[in-house]
Structure 1
Amino acid sequence: MAYVIGVIGGGQLARMMVPPAIHLGLDIRVLAETEGSSARLAATRVGDYHDAETVLAFARDVDAVTFDHEHVPQDVLAALVDAGVAVHPSPEALFVAQDKIVMRRRLTDLGLPVPDWAAVRDAGALGVFLAEHDGRAVVKTARGGYDGKGVRVVRSADGADDWFAALAEGEALLVEELVEFRRELAQSVARRPSGEIVAWPLVESIQRDGVCAEVIAPAPNSAGRLADVAEQIARTIADELGVTGVLAVELFETTDDRLLVNELAMRPHNTGHWSIDGSTTSQFEQHLRAVLDLPLGDTGMHDRWSVMVNVLGGPEQGTLAARLPALMEDLPSVKVHDYGKDPRPGRKVGHVTATGDDLDDATYRARAAAEFFQG
């Protein structure tokens, strides 16, 4: 009998879990938020993931539940556990990913490298932090931010007054030093409940307007100590937090040669999309293996380089599908991944990947394909 896996959330991450589930002979089911979601081909129920009864009904006959995002409330996760459902990653692990202040506190307690930080509840506390950090800092909402949302550079104590005014009792904002960094890196690992961990190569991510634009695997000039330290950081987090499934650790490589943890994602992540075409085992197949506690796959690369570029939607471009035949003709070596979304400015509607032995050539082909779709 096939394993049955339930995915909460109907976005592109759930969509990209479908092909490996089919290849592994798994029955994959998706609880989507809306009709016509990106993962609609596997959506067996449409409903509100904030509602425990809806989620429990969806999870009734599955072997394990996993996630397209980290936003499922803790009381809903607790209801799943109380009902005997295997939840991966666990509510305890997800709690660290759901709240940036909790995450910073936990990583600090583990002795892992993070930017200097504080939890602040008013302009006075923010002003004290600014005075200690050359008058500038990064303020983040503790929950809900992504792709540059909920993140703000401030240079005055009143720079986050609107966010302070919106805080509920007991809530705080996260303030961090403004890190001087050379580049952003990401280290992905996968861990299964029995403790086996595998790692992919360290990658470089290039951000534009707070959104991941490109990923290069492996990160250029990263072999040796840099890659070893990044992998050890990710393995430590996965083990100490008991993460099951894919864990992506976003990192800053600072101008004074340090690695600092920026963000965590306990699910497949944009910086790992290259692995679909560039690795023996993609992050999506590996995630399914891990949450079902199946042996993990090899993470070696098919070619020396893999370059992934996101395709951002705009009203002038139409759908990716409409332009696909022409791209196939011009760039037959580029792999295209369409998320099945209506395009709008700044929205991730797909990605393209090029691989090869020459980094410049792979980068050129991937960028050319993305530009073709974006008009």
Structure 2
Amino acid sequence: MSQNKQEESLADNNTKVTDTEVLEKLRLPVFKNLVLKKLADQVMVITGASSGIGLVTARMAASKGAKVVLAARNEKALKQLTAELNEQGHPAIYVKADVGREEDVNIIAETAIKEFGHFNTWVNNAGLSIYGHAMEVTNDDIRQLFDTNFWSVVYGTKAAVSHFKKEGSPGAIINVGSIFGDRGTVIQSTYAAAKFAVHGWTESVRMELEKENAPVSVTLIHPGRIDTPYNEHAKSYLDKQPGHRGMIYPPEAVAEAILHSAENPKRDMYVGSQAKAAALLGTLFPRLTDKVMEKVMYPTQHLNKPSQPMDENNLYQPGYGMHERGTNKGWKRSGSMYVKVSKYPVLSSMIAVGIGAIAWSAWKRK
């Protein structure tokens, strides 16, 4: 029977079926028994754990009972964080690693297995940026950024998939993308290009693993503008200091999305409505979005003070660690409602329908 006829027969069937049953009847791939462990029973690997999103995620995961394996280039910060967590009674180890090197990433996996016997979640979070016009940024700098932002995700994904398949038990890979992985931007063209690559890699790998029914959940996190030291660590070709201005979300909101995805198989998690809006508008109205980005993104990616010297950045060496927040300016949100809604889609849909019904009823009474 052709796929079209199969779809018609399903449509004619008055019996309610689940999404999983539909996929099975159409002979499309569906994960079998992909149930992820609770955080309290997990070992979680986190790259880029010495500051920003990685630091917050490590602390939150440990507080929920997860054993954490922390990776970054800044050994001093890793030692401090590991000691902090151990003193609080949370099992934690660290691996000094440059995740742009495949051998270092493999050492992270080997260390986690040696210490804890396995790992359940791998978070590809390490990242850095370059602020400058595309034609000004050197090719060497672009390659270095891709090593950290893209190739580290490739290496981490391969190490995690290999382990999960060998173990034969479900595990999660969580890749931290960006609003600029869905929609390009000015000034951070190199960063955007690398994040586009991360998004494409994540989607492609997810489909391949789903096709073979591998025991792996693959989630892409789409953060909006996040208040971390990211701007201070970045290499700057600008006259003024890089920084976010406008609506900014806390790193805790990204950590919340990551930890939810570690327990619940999710395809995507958007952090902040701006991230979802940028992706949607860029798809529906690409030229209009170009013009808006050209107008908005030039003045909102730097602060009103001179830029730090070009050689003060973390592109080729570790940046300072143990800072969760940065020096960004703007409207700083306390969290992301979009993340909370995404965690409870059925309940959120029911609330939205209820609000709509109330509004319709009120309008009809007029």
Greater share of helix residues, 1 or 2? 2
Please report the TM-score for the alignment, with normalisation by the length of structure 2: 0.32
TM-score by length of 1: 0.31
- Greater relative contact order: 1 or 2 (C-alpha under 8 angstroms, separation 6 or more)? 2
Larger radius of gyration: 2
